[in-house]
């Protein structure tokens, strides 16, 4: 089958970073294993209109990934596909439709939602669709339903309607596929049972990067590094997280923590370095250091195999309570260049209230140890957690300055659907200030909710202040000016600086 996988265009300040979607790289790898012909259309880097690709290549099935900020863009992409041929099955997956499947199934341009981890579900679903001749049952899709203007899509209505005649059938066979949601013949949303998590992650294929035009992407952290040609790749060595922080979307997945064996991880690492020429590698794990022995084993293998000359960085925070000096020193020896820690707050009571299971002292010790062994550090901080006051926000800013990481990343709390903070806000008489999923990106300087002492004015003021006070210290300015990277990409650094420290 011809399988078109789409990463819908994001509305982030995308000059910050563009990287291939690892989710699609896995789904594409499964398609290849099935003997299909997968192709990725990445809306963030593609210049050809999606509709042209669909019209010329005629995919048998389309899969689209979406997090919350991308979901509307995913629906637009689905509508563009349907406008060319309404009978092509359109399947959505990723964090947002996994949490709110009914919302997407209700869209006329979406046929099926895959919830949660996608590989096994995709394999089975493709079997079913292939048997069914890959045409959507009733193709009841009409352009008007989608709520998009025809001019935007650039197609004539007749094109979409003509395809209806050729539609073949088969929703009944979907009943057997766990982990999907779709509408039945009566238009009722059906949620098939959840799919059990993949037990042995070593059975998964490696992410398939051959599906991406790698030269179109940036570095992993382009404001900090520039490798000419940016041969940057990502790897995920474990999935899920045993912690349940109240603001984190990861914490709501039924699938908890599972790991790949060090040997399997390093086999993929070898492939990235030796076959694909990786010049930097980003580790995307939600919490890489949950099992310290496993991290030590990975580091041993990287050193033994001589793979430690390629720098790697932690994209997500590792757990400060589990990051002892030995571990950090071993990571450094194995090629790790930079690590991040999720700090969130400088106030212990607030940390406890979000279920962080961390103490300020553990955080201090972890930053100290990381710096001592020569690792660069990133700290993630949140302004506006439920129950905060101006004083607790102040403590967070002061704590960031005390820890003094290379990068301090402050975000205003964004209550993603399904998280406990989202529920707290609804139940605690709070008010969401955003009703458009596209406004859920972090970088926009706008508060997302108000509740009690946490007003929008306070969050926005302290957020701007946090950036100004952290980065506008004389020592910090000097450090930025003396960093080679600052001068290698002046326009990007200047754009970022303006966006973050300009008064709100």
Residues forming the site for ligand SF4 (CB under 6 A): 241, 243-245, 248, 250-251, 286-287, 342
Tokens of 118: 């996608």
Q: How many residues at the interface with ligand B12, by CB under 6 A? A: 39
If one asks whether residue 88 binds ligand B12 (CB under 6 A), the answer comes out as: no
Q: What is the rounded CA–CA span in Å between residue 241 and residue 197?
A: 13
Cβ distance to ligand SF4 smaller for residue 245 or 366: 245
**CA distances, 183 to each of 134, 175, 207, 293 (Å):** 17, 11, 31, 46
Mention every residue, 6+ apart, whose C-beta is less than 8 A from residue 318: 287, 288, 289, 339, 340, 341
- Interaction residues for ligand B12, span 397-436 (CB under 6 A): 416
> At its nearest, how many Å lie between ligand SF4 and the CB of residue 502?
28
- The candidate with the shortest Cα–Cα distance to 389, out of 451, 469, 310, is 451
If one asks whether residue 93 binds ligand B12 (CB under 6 A), the answer comes out as: yes
Residue at token pair 């509307």:
72
Mention every residue, 6+ apart, whose C-beta is less than 8 A from residue 97: 66, 71, 74, 103, 104, 113, 114, 115
Residue at token pair 């420290």:
501
Cβ distance to ligand B12 smaller for residue 119 or 395: 119
- Interaction residues for ligand B12, span 299-318 (CB under 6 A): 315-316
> At its nearest, how many Å lie between ligand SF4 and the CB of residue 329?
23
When CB distances are held under 5 to 8 angstroms depending on the partner's kind, the choice from ligand SF4, ligand B12, none that residue 287 binds is: ligand SF4
Tokens of 336: 């790790």
If one asks whether residue 343 binds ligand B12 (CB under 6 A), the answer comes out as: no
Are 83 and 147 within 8 A, CB to CB?
no
Mention every residue, 6+ apart, whose C-beta is less than 8 A from residue 217: 18, 19, 20, 45, 230, 232
Q: What is the rounded CA–CA span in Å between residue 268 and residue 455?
A: 47
If one asks whether residue 94 binds ligand B12 (CB under 6 A), the answer comes out as: yes
DSSP 370: H
When CB distances are held under 5 to 8 angstroms depending on the partner's kind, the choice from ligand B12, ligand SF4, none that residue 179 binds is: none
When CB distances are held under 5 to 8 angstroms depending on the partner's kind, the choice from ligand B12, ligand SF4, none that residue 94 binds is: ligand B12
Binding-site member from 80, 85, 103, 119 for ligand B12 (CB under 6 A):
119
Binding-site member from 1, 22, 216, 297 for ligand B12 (CB under 6 A):
22
State the pairing for strand pair 238-239/258-259: antiparallel
If one asks whether residue 284 binds ligand B12 (CB under 6 A), the answer comes out as: yes
Cβ distance to ligand SF4 smaller for residue 31 or 250: 250
Radius of gyration of the chain (CA): 23
When CB distances are held under 5 to 8 angstroms depending on the partner's kind, the choice from ligand B12, ligand SF4, none that residue 284 binds is: ligand B12
Cα–chain center distance at 208: 17
If one asks whether residue 91 binds ligand B12 (CB under 6 A), the answer comes out as: yes
When CB distances are held under 5 to 8 angstroms depending on the partner's kind, the choice from ligand SF4, ligand B12, none that residue 342 binds is: ligand SF4
Tokens of 156: 């004539």
Binding-site member from 3, 4, 26, 335 for ligand B12 (CB under 6 A):
26
Tokens of 249: 């979307």
Can you give the binding site for ligand B12, defined by CB under 6 A? 10, 12, 17, 19, 21-23, 26-27, 63-65, 67-70, 91, 93-96, 114, 117-119, 122, 236, 248-250, 284, 286, 315-316, 416, 440-443
């Amino acid at each position: 089958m011809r399988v078109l996988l789409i990463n819908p265009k994001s509305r982030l300040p995308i000059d910050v970073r563009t990287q291939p979607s690892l989710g699609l790289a896995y789904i594409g790898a499964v398609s290849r294993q099935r003997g299909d012909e997968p192709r990725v259309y990445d809306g963030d880097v593609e210049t050809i209109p999606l509709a042209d690709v669909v019209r010329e290549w005629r995919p048998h099935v389309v899969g689209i990934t979406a997090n919350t900020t991308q979901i509307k863009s995913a629906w637009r992409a689905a509508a563009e596909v349907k406008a060319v041929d309404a009978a092509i099955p359109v399947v959505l997956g990723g964090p947002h439709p996994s949490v709110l499947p009914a919302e997407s199934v209700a869209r006329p341009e979406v046929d099926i939602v895959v919830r949660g981890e996608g590989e096994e579900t995709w394999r089975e679903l493709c079997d079913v669709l292939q048997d069914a001749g890959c045409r959507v049952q009733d193709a009841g899709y009409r352009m008007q339903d989608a709520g998009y203007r025809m001019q935007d899509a650039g197609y004539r209505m007749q094109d979409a309607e003509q395809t209806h005649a050729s539609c073949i059938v088969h929703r009944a066979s979907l009943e057997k596929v766990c982990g999907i949601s779709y509408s039945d013949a009566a238009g009722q949303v059906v949620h098939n049972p959840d799919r059990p998590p993949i037990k042995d992650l070593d059975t998964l294929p490696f992410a398939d990067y051959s599906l991406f035009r790698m030269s179109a992407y940036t570095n992993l952290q382009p404001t900090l590094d520039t490798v000419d040609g940016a041969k940057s790749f990502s790897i995920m060595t474990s999935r899920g997280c045993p912690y349940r922080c109240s603001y984190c979307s990861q914490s709501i997945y039924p699938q908890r923590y599972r790991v790949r064996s060090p040997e399997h991880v390093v086999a993929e690492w070898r492939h990235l370095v030796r076959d694909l020429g990786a010049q930097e590698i980003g580790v995307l794990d939600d919490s890489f250091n949950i099992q310290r022995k496993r991290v030590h084993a990975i580091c041993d293998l990287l050193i033994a195999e001589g793979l430690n000359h390629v720098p790697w960085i932690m994209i997500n925070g590792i757990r400060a309570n589990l990051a002892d000096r030995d571990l950090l020193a071993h990571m450094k020896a194995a090629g790790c260049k930079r690590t991040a820690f999720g700090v969130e707050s400088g106030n212990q009571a607030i940390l406890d209230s979000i279920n962080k299971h961390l103490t300020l002292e553990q955080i201090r010790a972890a930053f100290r140890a990381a710096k001592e062994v020569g690792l660069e550090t990133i700290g993630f901080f949140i302004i506006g957690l439920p129950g905060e006051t101006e004083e607790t926000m102040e403590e967070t800013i002061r704590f960031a300055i005390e820890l003094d990481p290379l990068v301090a990343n402050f975000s205003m709390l964004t209550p993603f659907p399904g998280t406990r903070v989202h529920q707290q806000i609804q139940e605690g008489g709070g008010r969401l200030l955003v009703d458009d999923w596209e406004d859920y990106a972090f970088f926009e300087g706008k508060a997302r909710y108000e509740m009690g002492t946490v007003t929008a004015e306070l969050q926005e003021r302290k957020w701007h202040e946090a950036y100004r006070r952290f980065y506008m210290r004389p020592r910090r300015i000097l450090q930025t000016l003396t960093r080679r990277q600052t001068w290698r990409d002046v326009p990007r650094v200047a754009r970022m600086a303006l966006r973050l420290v300009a008064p709100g």
